[in-house]
Structures are given as C-alpha cells and as structure tokens.
Amino acid sequence: MAFKNSIAWYYFSSPKNFYPMAGRLIPWFWALSITLLVVGLYMGFFVAPTDYKQGESYRIIFIHVPAAWMSMLIYLVMAGYAIIGMAWKLRMAEMMASALAPTGAMFTFLALWTGAFWGKPTWGTYWVWDARLTSELILLFLYIGYISLQSAIDDPRRAARASALLAIVGVINLPVIYWSVTWWNTLHQGASVSPGMEPKMASDMLTAMLVMTFAFWTYTIAVVLMRVRRTVLERESQTSWVKALVGGSTEKRSAGEKQ
C-alpha cells in the first residue's frame, strides 16, 4: 500500500499529470461546497437554538469559527508544501503553496471581520488588542507578506524559495493563536470544541459548525485546484503538452465559430 501511495504521489507531482486530474475533481468539490454551505447556513441560522447568554448575535460563530480554523489549517498546509518544495524541489508543491495563500488570507480576514461584529455586542467594542485577535492579525500579515514576496521576485523558483522561508518561520505563530487564551488572560472565550474534551455547546450548534467547516474546506480545495491549474499553464507554457493543449482548445473554438 505504501509503495502504491508513493507511486501515486510521484505520478501526480508532475504538472502534466496533475492538471487533468485537478480538472476532474473541481466540479465535485464545488458541488459539495455549495451543498454543505446551504445546509450549514440553514442549520446555523434556523435550526440551532438561541444562546441563553448572547441571544441571536452568537450565530455569527457559524462563520467566524470555521473561518478561523481554516485560516490556521491552510497556513499549516501551505508551510508543509513549502517545505516539500524546498527539500525535494517539486514544482507542484511550490505551486500548491502559492495557490493556497490567497484563500488563507481571505479566511483570516473573514475571521477577523466576523470576530469584530461578534465582539461589539459581546465586549462592547469591535476591536481590542487581545492576544487571540492580535496573533490572528499577525497571521493575516504573514499571508500578505508571503503573497507580496512572491509578486516582488520575477523568477518563480527564487520567489518560491524566498516565500517558503517566510511561511516556515511563520508557523511559530500558529500555536500562539491556538494557546493564547490559555497562556494569557484574554477577553476571548476559551475553546468550545477541542480534541479530548466534551463539546461545550448543543449538538445542533456543533453539527452546524462542523458542516460549515467542511463547506469551507471543500470550497478551499475547489478554488485552490482552479488557481493551481492556471499557474501550471503559465509556468509550463513552453512545454509541448501545454502547447498541444492550448492549440487544441484554439482549434475547437475556431471550429465552433465557423459552425
């Protein structure tokens, strides 16, 4: 089994083999994402009970918490691809890391934005320099720094190596975000869901939150696969298989126009 997995990993590490496989997966992940998003939003806003302390305002957690989880998970996966790209010089790993960054930045911004709207009725202010909020803001700056560094360097391979170093160093911020409510006295509440402990919320609330998390996860896969396919075409534009692919698409469009 391990031998077969290693063969599959090697096979799909080639942009030529990865490109068509990603194209087949994208519609499935889009369908899953849209379905889960509709179900999750319905459960979160219409099925989950009203919180006895925060009232209806708490419902923003069904967007805020999954977005915060995804912001950290995407950064961890991005750093993992950056390490693989540096260690084994795999182009697909470099491209995957690059494709993940904009979506990670988007979820980080969404977590901060929804957190501000949650904070106003809960704390009486949109923003405080709380340890959890500040470390999440640093995560957004790390994403922006990664994207900016890649844009500033013309050579894609040099850009990938430089941004990979930033991504790897920035991983140290993830445990700070996760443990900030334990290490410091903060306004931000502790974890309601955590491995090894009983959930501190009703089952309907937990189910809605998990469905939204999977919706964001499948959305991330669909968007990243689309983005990395575009990157493959740009970076492999001089290869014979891309020229054949682009040439075939052009011929099909020309034939359709003539008809």
Partnered with residue 51 across adjacent β-strands are 55
pLDDT at 55: 82
Positions of the chain with pLDDT under 50: none
Long-range CB pairs of 55-59, under 8 A, 24+ apart, other chains included: 57/118, 57/121, 57/122, 58/118
Distance CA(169)–CA(92), nearest Å, equals: 21
Query: How far is it, in rounded angstroms, from Cα 93 to Cα 81?
Result: 5
Structure tokens at 92: 């697909």
All domains in the chain, ordered by first residue: 26-190+201-229 (1.20.120)
Pairwise CA distance, residues 220 & 55, whole Å: 31
Among 78, 190, 186, 187, residue whose Cα is nearest residue 142? 78
Query: Please, where are the H alpha helices in 13-60?
Result: 15-42
The predicted model scores a pTM of: 0.90
Give the per-residue pLDDT at 185: 67
Backbone angles phi, psi at 124, to 5 degrees: 90, 10
Q: Which two tokens stand for residue 59?
A: 């419902």
46 CB-contact burial (10 Å; exposed 0-12 / middle 13-18 / buried 19+): exposed
Cβ-based neighbours of 240, under 8 Å, separated by 6 or more: none
Q: Tell me the angle at which helices 15-42 and 2-12 cross, rounded to the nearest 10 degrees.
A: 100
Instruction: Count the neighbouring beta carbons within 10 Å of the beta carbon of residue 226.
Output: 16
Q: Are 43 and 207 in contact (CB under 8 A)?
A: yes
Nearest residue to 229 (alpha-carbon basis) of 94, 30, 81, 96: 96
The pLDDT of residue 201:
76
pLDDT the model gives residue 189: 64
